Amino acid sequence: PGPIPVGEVAAAQPLDPAFAEREFEAAADEYDVAPGLRRFLWKLSCHEISESCARTGHFQPVDATMQGTRPLYEAATYGALCGNLRPVLRVCSSWEDVLWAYCRSLLEQRVDDAVGDALPPSSQAKSVWLGQRPTGGQPKTMREIFESMEAFSPADGSLQGGGEGAGAAHPGGQQQVAQERQQMQRQVQVSLILKDYPSLMEGLRRWVLHPSDHAV
C-alpha cells in the first residue's frame, strides 16, 4: 500500500467513508464498556505479567548478557503500573528507590479506590480488579510507609512479603537502605514529609550542638 500520507498530502485526499465508519464503530464499542472496566482489566493484566516475570527472574545472571535479571526489571515495571509492590521492591537499591516504590503503590491504591467509589455497587469493574488486587499488608499512609521502611533488615535474604517465588532481592539493596535511613538528610526528609516538626527541631538540635551541650 505504500507510505501513509501525512500533512497537506493527507488533508488533500478525500475521506474514505468506510474508514470513517469503522472508526465510529470502534468508538461506539469503547463507549458501551462499563465505566472503569478497561482500566481495571488493564491493571489486572499488568499484575499477571509482573507476577509471571517475577517467578522467572533472578540476580544471578546465567551468562554475560545478564539475561536472568531482565524479567525482574520487567516485573518491576508492570508492578509499578498496577501497584504490585513486591516485584518493585526486589529491584530497589537505595532509600529513594524504596520510598518511590511504596509511594507509587499507595497512589495506585488511592486512585483505584476513588474510581471504585464513583462506580455503582453492582458494577462489574469492581469485581474484576478491586476484589483481588494485591493490597494485603501494604501501607495505607505515609507514616506506615516509613514504618515499613524501618523494618527492612539488611541481614534478611528477602524483602518483606517476599512469599513464594520472590527470589533474592537486589544485591546490597537492603544494606544500602539501612545505611541511608540513618543519614541526616533522610531523617530531615522524613520529618518534613510527615510534618513532624518537633522531631525535626530535636534532630537539628542534636546535630548542631556539641555532645557536651545536649543537656542544654
- 189: exposed, middle or buried (Cβ count in 10 Å: 0-12, 13-18, 19+): middle
Residue by residue, DSSP assigns 182-200 as TSHHHHHHHHHHTT-HHHH
Helix (H) / strand (E) containing 29? helix 17-32
Give the span between the Cα atoms of 94 and 115, in whole angstroms. Answer: 32
State the pLDDT at residue 142. Answer: 95
pLDDT tens column, 32-42: 567 788 888 89
State the pLDDT at residue 96. Answer: 92
pTM summary value: 0.71
Q: Taking residues 167-173, what's their average pLDDT?
A: 54
Cα-Cα end-to-end distance for the chain:
83
The three grid cell numbers given for residue 163, joined into one nine-digit string: 512469599
pLDDT tens column, 4-46: 666 666 667 776 777 667 766 666 555 556 778 888 889 999 9
- The answer to whether 85 touches 135, Cβ cutoff 8 Å, is no
Distances (CA, A) of 185 to 89, 102, 182, 190, 216: 22, 19, 9, 9, 24
State the pLDDT at residue 214. Answer: 54
pLDDT tens column, 120-152: 888 888 888 887 787 767 899 999 999 998 876
DSSP assignment letter at 216: -
